[in-house]
Structures are given as structure tokens and as C-alpha cells.
Amino acid sequence: MSQFSHVPKPIPDPILYINALYNQDTNPNKVALGVGAYKDENGKPWILPSVRKAEEIISSDLAKYSKEYPPQAGYPLFLKTCQELMLGDDHIALKENRVATCQSLSGGGSLHVGLCFLNENYEGHDFYFPGITWPTHFVLYEKVYRKTPYFEYTYLYEDGKLAIDFEGMKRDFVNARDGSVFLLHACAHNPTGIDLTKQQWVEVKDIFKAKKHVAFFDLAYQGFATGSFEEDGYSVRMFAEEGVEMVVAQSFAKNFGLYGERVGACHIVHSDKHNSQLSANLQGVMCTIIRKTWSMSPVHGAYIIQTIGQDPELKKQYFEDVKTMSSRIKKMRQMLYDELVRIGTPGDWTPIKTCIGMFTFTGLTPAQVEYIKVKFSVYLLVQGGRMSMCGLTEKNVAYVANAMKQTVENVK
């Protein structure tokens, strides 16, 4: 008998599990609206033309782009590119040396580094997640904080209305202990697709400043939501300008289409102007965390990011590629909405049009999500009936709308 026979069957990850079910499904009409990964107008994975070009440059100069171990924090050009994409080239926090950056493994790895940093170096704080968030946030937190419980702050209204309860949210920020840490989605909130307005971000920033709260930004969709890095980076850039201390988990999975390359960065923005020693210390601490977990981050994705970021022509092309993705998603939102209305689907489908980024919270119940999966092979996430808009195409949108109509009519 194995000494490991006591090991229980693990609880499946809600997102990866849906994807696995989809892959096994033999229905030719199946539609993947579960995992958030961009697909082109034919429903196929898309490698950005700017990424392809960068890979050509990299493979033509293997002396420069070697396979040697990178510096522990990552290549300096990569780190510079990460900072510039996040904050813009001339941000005051960069001029004041207030940003410490370390390469990491996409969003998950960067969140892990940020959580470890706070847990080990910021004693006695309370940690808050939004009332609804990406389910992986919780498992990442539990892995690091062990038994220390987290708190939740208000996000959507409790009565099921698909809108932010901003008064409730502000109340929670104000009532929290000074110096608490709040996980914030910088843009394109996952799973709801509902973001704060700029004016609301300013109000949140004022509370954070007054209460000395730490903002922990999950920055997974910059550029992907509106097509503009500036627009999607508004919250992070404004908080950094105003000296709110923060951790930022930056991912290049979605906005560069580099899902499997696992490339990203963790940043710590502090408030001590021109204290480059502090920035170096913070970077060093992040390096230590990485050394203790995956040792060193991989180079290929980093080469791609720095090649695009430091070549003006390629960067221009890249910004066009990002617009291609975000425009296609916006178009699919409109098409699905129009079709649902045209065929008289019961319910208010406005959020399909008004939500932002990759996801929409359709409000379909778990029973309806199950029904649409079994009957139509349309795969959504159980949580709020989250729909990844990237799996919609001009060819399948009518099929999906019809499946939704039948579902809401048959399963109450």
C-alpha cells in the first residue's frame, strides 16, 4: 500500500475545470466562454504580429538574447519596460525613484510575490478582497497567509443589481483599520466586468491617503479593456502620483497574448522620494522570495516584452494589436446584445454591452449555467454566470444567444 494513499482527490479549480470539460466535449458547436483567453474572429488563439516580429528579432541574435540565467530581478531593460507600460514613460514616481520592480511569473506569480512580501514585511495588517473577485485570489492568499483570515469589502449591491455599491464600498474603506491592505482590480474587474469611474477612483484614493491604506493592484488587463494603456492604467498611475503606497501584480498574459510564457512583474511603489536605497531593498526582498519559490524567472517572455517596449516602431505596432483585441471584444458585446434583444430573450441584457474587458457577469444561475452546458455545450463559469467574451465570434454569436434564450425560458 502506498505511503501516499491517504492523499485525497483535490477540489478542482473552477476555471481550469470548465476548460478541461470543454476540451473533452465532442459537440462541433461547442463554445468556450469559460477561461479568459483571447481568440480571433475564427475562434483560434492569436499570436500578436508585434510578438511574432519580436521573436524573429530574438532568434536572429542568440548571442544577445542568450539562454543564460538572467539577473535575479530580471533584465534591466525588461524592468524598465514593465514600469513604463504600467506608469507611462515620465511618471513622477519613476523620476523620484519610488518604484521597486522584480520579474515574476505572470499574474499568479506576481500576486504570490506581493502577498509574501506583505505577509513577511508588513506586520499586523488586515487584508481585504472585494466581495466578489477572481477565485484564484483566495487560494493564493491562503497559501501564503495560512490561517490568518481575510476580510471582504463591498463590491456589487447585495440585492443582485449588477452595479457597484459605491457608498457601501467607501464605508468599508473608511471603517477598516488604518493601514489595511485592499486588493483592487486596476481595470476590467474579473469576474464582473464592472469598474469604478475615474471620479470614484479619486474618491477612493482620498480615503486611502487619509487612512494610510495600502493598495494591492491586480493589473492583468491594462490596454485590453479600452485599447489604451493610459486609460486602463488610470487608477494605478493616479494612486502612484499621489503617493499612496502600493503593490502591483502586473501580468502580460492577456495584453500581450503571452499566456503560456508566464511573464509579468511585481512592483512595490513607496512614498519616500529619492530613497533609492529603500527601492533597492524592496527589490532585494522580492528577489529573495522568488529565490525561495521558483528561483529565477524565465527569459523568453521577458525578451519579447523588452524588445517590443524599447523599439518605437514595434511598440506602435503593439498598441495597434491591443486595439485589435479590445475592438473585437467590444464588437462581440454589441452583437450578442443585439441578437438577444432581437430574438426576445427575457431579461435585461444591458451589462453585456456596458461591461468592460474580457468578462461579463450575465447573472445566469448555477442551474442555468449547467443547463446551457449540457444542452448546448456552451461553457460559462458558475460564479455569476461569468462569460468570457473572447470566445464569441460572428459565426457562433446567434447560436449562443439562442442557447441563452432557451436557458432562461426553461430554467427559472
Please work out the total of residues on this chain that contact ligand LMR, with binding judged by CB under 6 A: 6
Which member of 46, 254, 349, 373 is catalytic? 254
Site string for ligand LMR, 185-224 (x = CB under 6 A): -----x----------------------------------
CA nearest neighbour of 182 among 230, 139, 239, 223: 239
| Cβ closest to ligand LMR, residue 136 vs residue 406 | 136
Instruction: Give residue number: closest CB to ligand LMR.
Output: 36
Q: Which of 218, 232, 321, 349 is catalytic?
A: 218
Query: CA 409 → CA 372, 402, 404, 412, distances in Å?
Result: 11, 11, 8, 7
CA 104, 227, 56: angle at the middle one, nearest 5?
Answer: 55
134 is catalytic: yes
Closest to ligand LMR by CB, 136 vs 317, is 136
Helix ranges restricted to H, 88-194: 92-95, 106-121, 136-145, 166-175
Separation in Å, CA 52 to CA 224, 314, 357: 18, 11, 24
Residues 105-144 that bind ligand LMR (CB under 6 A): 134, 136
Q: Is 231 helix (H, G, I), strand (E, B) or coil?
A: helix
Residue number with CB closer to ligand LMR (35 or 86): 35
Residues 103 and 265: beta-carbon distance below 8 Å: yes
312 preceded by a cis bond (ω within 30 of 0):
no
Cβ at position 279, least distance to ligand LMR in Å: 29
CB of 15 to ligand LMR, least distance (A): 4
Catalytic residue among 134, 205, 321, 373: 134
- Please, which residues bridge with residue 215 across strands? 182, 246
Instruction: Output 96 or 261, the one with its CB closest to ligand LMR.
Output: 261
Options 32, 33, 35, 116; binder of ligand LMR; rule CB under 6 A: 35
Q: Does 345 bind ligand LMR (CB under 6 A)?
A: no
Angle between helices 276-293 and 106-121 (to 10 degrees): 110
Active site residue 218: yes
C-alpha cell at 58: 530574438
Minimal distance in Å, beta carbon 283 to ligand LMR? 26
Interface residue with ligand LMR among 22, 36, 194, 401 (CB under 6 A) is: 36
Is 53 marked active-site? no
181, burial (CB in 10 Å: exposed 0-12, middle 13-18, buried 19+): buried
Query: Rounded to the nearest whole angstrom, what is the least distance from the CB of residue 267 to ligand LMR in the complex?
Result: 19
Residues at the site binding ligand LMR, with contacts judged by CB under 6 A: 15, 35-36, 134, 136, 190
**Which residues carry out catalysis?**
134, 218, 254
